[in-house]
Amino acid sequence: DWTPDAFIDTTIAGLREKLGNDLVVLGLSGGVDSSVAAVLLHQAIGKNLHCIFVDNGLLRKDEFEQVLDSYKHMGLNVRGIKASDRFLGALAGLTDPEQKRKAIGRVFIEVFDDAAHEVQNVKWLGQGTIYPDVIESVSVKGPSATIKSHHNVGGLPDFMKLKVVEPLNTLFKDEVRRVGKALGLDDTLLGRHPFPGPGLAIRILGDITPEKVAILQEADAIYINNLKSSGWYDKVWQAGAIFLPVHSVGVMGDERTYENVVCLRAVSSVDGMTADWSHLPYELLAKISNEIINNVKGINRVVYDISSKPPATIEWE
């Protein structure tokens, strides 16, 4: 019978045997999989694991600092790299969703490769790949596609020539969470909603500017905080705010406004392949809408997405 404790014991023993005194570099995303993989590797080889956490400027409000802090509290040997300018620079003027994804993937590879080079004599690339990633290895949106397109243009980045160690590649998501819990990871980390690699770049429809990112981060933070305080965060599978590329007329005191629209999305799902829109209470939606419009300069209208997948997708891009 599979138990988290038995899995942890055999995996750590196996990792020690496989890795010996070798150095491993691993990219943390803030998500469950890479975090659990890192803690497992850390327990096996300690400081020989070098983690890299990249701020692409498209994370949720304050998330880079908070997550980096919690990684440090876990004792991980982690380096945080602030690279917002590089990502936002590469995104400037792009409006097509797949081009945005490619630009982000390309810059991530460059930033990660630079950081990995600073780990002298590194032999292995650690990854939080889980079993469903292995069987669905062909994903148009996933990082593998980005890496392939990069490969065709410029040759394989050096970190991709490393040997790969993937301690979670036989596990399903719920098993990863159980392993994480047994390893003592925080419930807030283990219970986090999935968040796409390209982050807010695919939640800002059309072109991306630092101003739009800042507006969306504020609105999204109000939304997520209200889901948490109302107890709804754990009842939905994923939620987030989307910045729409439209202006609408409003009124503030005696003034006419012409500002941006934010859409709230929340879905229930098992694996993201199909999803139903979440029936959040009207009172909660009303509170969130008021708070966003009253506090986030640049937004004068909030709408709620009532589309299920299929035919709509969870993200808008």
Binding string, 169-208, against ligand XMP, x = CB under 6 A?
-------------------------x-xxx----------
Give the footprint of ligand XMP on residues 27-86 (CB under 6 A): none
Q: ∠ at Cα 57 (52, 63), nearest 5°?
A: 70
Which residue lies nearer to ligand XMP by CB, 122 or 201? Answer: 201
* CA separation for the pair 205, 208 (Å, rounded): 8
Judged by CB under 6 A, the stretch of 48-56, 113-121, 282-290, 307-315 that binds ligand XMP is: 307-315
Give the footprint of ligand XMP on residues 264-283 (CB under 6 A): 272
* CA separation for the pair 166, 126 (Å, rounded): 6
Q: Which of 25, 33, 76, 20 is nearest to 169 (CA)?
A: 33
Least distance to ligand XMP, CB of residue 22, Å: 28
Least distance to ligand XMP, CB of residue 251, Å: 34
Nearest-10 Cα torsion for 230, 235, 238, 239: -20
Residues in contact with 197: Cβ distance below 8 Å, sequence separation at least 6, in sequence order: 29, 104, 105, 108, 143
Cβ-count burial 223-249 (b if 16+ within 10 Å, e if not): bbebbeeeebbeebbbbbbbbbeeeee
Which residue lies nearer to ligand XMP by CB, 48 or 238? Answer: 238
Token pair 């392939």 in the structure block, residue: 148
Least distance to ligand XMP, CB of residue 47, Å: 29
315 binds ligand XMP (CB under 6 A): yes
29 is in an annotated binding site: yes
Binding site for ligand XMP (CB under 6 A): 101, 141, 194, 196-198, 238, 272, 309, 313-315
Q: Which residues are annotated as a binding site for ATP?
A: 29-35
